[in-house]
Chains A and B, each alone.
Chain A
Amino acid sequence: MKYLGIDSVRPRIAVFELTGCEGCELQLANKEETLAAFLDAVEVVNFREISSSSSDDYDIAFVDGAVSRADEVERLEVIREHAKVLVALGSCACFGGVSRLKNAFDLNEANREVYGDRPQETLPVRAVSEVVAVDLEIPGCPVSKDEVERIVQHLIWDVPYHFPAYPVCLECKQRYTVCTYEVGLLCLGPITRAGCNAPCPAGGLGCWGCRGPAVEANAEEFLTTVHERGFTNDEIAERMSFFGGFEGLLP
């Protein structure tokens, strides 16, 4: 492909999974209508969901999942050394995700609860950026393929990528979704970063904050208004802890 007189280069990409469900990786192999073009635009050198080949020579590394073991820390450090660009893929990689809930408990107790009398080696859960430097983050549980494509396009062609700064509410309003608070339910939409097109409130669930906080989220006023609506600190904190993105803003 040539544009503006410039030949585009196919970056070599690799995908790695740490602690998580690998759902975000599956998303990469999703969206059949553009999958062929996607695989044309990049050269996949390491991605076990779609290919058995593996190589350490890559430009862009996508890392899915949180860091919860010592061997993952080591792997991640190696990946960081090889990759020109390291992208944290999904809420687990960006914030620690659901498994970060473990950090609220005693580590041994958590280990016993999950593995019984066959305990595994484990560490408190960390986001990728808490271990190595991250160039780009794509939050979401799971990530949207659309957003991944735009990030990849941005990395190949340097086309603009707009990571919305505003909260989910704006997208709910654009979808004509009845506000979750109108029907008396809790929703993190007012403080969560948009870009998902607000499927959860539209489905009646309210927002669970998988994309983490919006830029300059007004958590203080948010807490005041949800308290006025009768929600307790426990309910709110539980919701805000779910994906691990709101540490420091909890009530």
Chain B
Amino acid sequence: MSTFNNAYDVSREAEMKEPLDFNRRSRLKHVDRVFKAEILNIIHLTEMEKLYQIRLLDPAERARFSFLPGQFVMLEVPGYGEIPISISSSPAKNGYLELCIRRAGVVTGALHRAQRGAKVGVRGPFGSHFPMEEMKNHNLLLVAGGLGLAPLRAPIFEVIDHRPDYGDVNILYGTREPAQLLFDYQYEEWGRIDDIDLRIIVEKPDPGWTGPTGMITELIGDLEIDPRRTFAIVCGPPVMFKSVCRHLVEIGVSMRRIFVSLERRMHCGMGKCCRCNVGSTFTCMDGPVFDYWAVMNLKEAI
């Protein structure tokens, strides 16, 4: 009989037997298999957001897991579903991940009810990253609005972990109200590091607020930015990052040196399901990190 009748078992391919590694694109792998992870600590940030410290359970997987600042993972709660979450921890911590999660739907709802010790699944890392190598020996302007501090936290840690490689660092953060400020327990530390300047602004102050009040663009005006020596990362809602990016372009920062992280509803993370498609672009593969020139060329409203 023809050899055709011998069923082909894809699981027997050598590549499929290698340890699961999502960094190795274009290799056959169990694309829907998750790394099992455990919730180690749950840190309450605001009424809406919690930070989950998780670790991959398998020590080998944990050590092998690596990512670059700006990348995201698909977080699976079996029975509930899978959601894309940007990684908020230091890349140096490998498979000890920190994920900042806002309660918005059923999956995040389940996570907000979950207790320490609960098991979740992780696929990834996926997507593009901030070009930390290229940014070396330059000044950095890191701007976040609202939940945008979550994706910005990985590059902040990367800079702290490799402090001598970078020039002056300005971190600007703004939210609507003081109660929405994320990671407030870290401001003290970040602000005290040599040549890292942290400034925070809110739109609507409460009685206890002593800092500046207004839109985040007001903070940028106060800074002295050398456009030829500066890279910028801007994370936040579209209205916010557009106005910040426009301002930076006006003062002469190259569009190719301004990076944003776009949030879209990825379902697969692998450029297959098309749900995060913006015109010709797959946010999960070509993004979530884009330079501002690429953003200008996206046809769809962002």
Residues of chain A whose beta carbon lies under 8 Å from any beta carbon of chain B: 3-6, 157-160
Contact = CB atoms under 8 A, between A and B. Distances in A.
Interface of B: 77, 79-81, 105-107, 109-110, 113-118
Contact of A158 (B106, B115, B116, B117): B106
A5 B117 contact: yes
Contact of A4 (B81, B105, B106, B118): B118
B116 A4 contact: no
15 contacts: A4-B77, A4-B110, A4-B114, A5-B116, A5-B117, A6-B114, A157-B79, A158-B106, A158-B109, A158-B110, A159-B79, A159-B106, A160-B80, A160-B81, A160-B106
Contacts of B80: 159-160
Given A3-B79, A6-B113, A160 B107 contact: yes
Contacts of B79: 3, 157, 159
A159 B80 CA distance: 5
Nearest to B106: A160
Contacts of A3: 79
A157 B117 CA distance: 19
A160 B80 CA distance: 6
Given A159-B79, A159-B80, A160-B80, A4 B113 contact: yes
A114 B115 CA distance: 59
A3 B77 CA distance: 10
Instruction: Please name the 8 residue pairs, one residue from A and one from B, whose CB atoms are nearest each other, closest first.
Output: A5-B115, A4-B114, A4-B118, A160-B106, A5-B118, A6-B113, A160-B81, A159-B80
A158 B113 CA distance: 10
A157 B109 CA distance: 11
Given A160-B80, A160-B81, A5 B110 contact: no
B109 A4 contact: no
A159 B137 CA distance: 49
B118 to A, nearest CB: 4
A223 B113 CA distance: 47
A5 B110 CA distance: 11
Contacts of A6: 113-115
A54 to B, nearest CB: 33
A62 to B, nearest CB: 21
Select the residue from A4, A6, A158 with max chain B CB neighbours within 10 A: A4
Nearest to A160: B106
Nearest to A3: B79
